[in-house]
């Protein structure tokens, strides 16, 4: 799960539903996809789950509109670090057995530890 640093403080993000992130801020990382789940780290060190809502393009920059989710902690992020949940893809072909197996395996992993899906304070 990718961590994205944003230049806003925890107090500001607590009142926001979305934040804009320029691709240049990702330090050379691969582009993000709509629907991709990530972790946002604010300038105060606060962590929260987020998802890419949509992409905006200009002549020189790709900007991601990121929907902010619940706060989380470093331990939870650490446990999820190795978890990769495949993104749904719109394709003109049937998914392969391997793709379906990957999705099923990811769902089983999450189902085995449902507390990983809950924000701190809601467990």
Of 98, 90, 26, 95, give the one whose Cα is nearest residue 62: 26
| Cβ neighbours of residue 53 closer than 8 Å, sequence gap 6 or more | 18, 34, 64, 65, 66, 67
Domain that residue 113 falls in: 3-117
CATH assignment at residue 96: 2.40.240.20
Mean pLDDT of 34-58: 90
Q: Is 123 within the bounds of a domain?
A: no
Q: How confident is the model at residue 115 (pLDDT cuts 50, 70, 90)?
A: low
Is residue 109 assigned to a domain? yes
Assess contact for 71 and 119: CB atoms under 8 A.
yes
If phi > 0 it is left, if psi is from -120 to 50 it is alpha, else beta; for residue 27 that is: left
Give the pTM. Answer: 0.63
Average pLDDT, the chain: 79
Q: Tell whether the model's pLDDT for residue 35 goes beyond 60.
A: yes
pLDDT tens-digit series, residues 20-32: 999 988 877 788 8
Longest CA pairwise span in the chain (Å): 45
The total number of structural domains in the chain stands at: 1
The tokens for 31 are 């582009």
Q: What gap in Å lies between CA 74 and CA 72, rounded to an integer?
A: 7
């Amino acid at each position: 799960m990718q961590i994205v640093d944003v230049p806003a403080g925890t107090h500001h993000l607590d009142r926001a539903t979305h934040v804009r992130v320029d691709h240049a801020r990702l330090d050379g990382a691969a582009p993000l996809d709509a629907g991709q789940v990530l972790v946002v780290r604010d300038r105060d060190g606060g962590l929260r789950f987020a998802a890419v809502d949509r992409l905006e393009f200009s002549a020189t920059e790709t900007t991601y509109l990121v929907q902010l989710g619940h706060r989380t902690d470093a331990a939870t992020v650490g446990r999820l670090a190795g978890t990769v949940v495949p993104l749904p893809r719109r394709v003109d072909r049937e998914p392969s057995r391997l793709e379906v197996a990957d999705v099923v395996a990811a769902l089983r992993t999450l189902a085995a530890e449902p507390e990983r899906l809950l924000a701190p304070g809601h467990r």
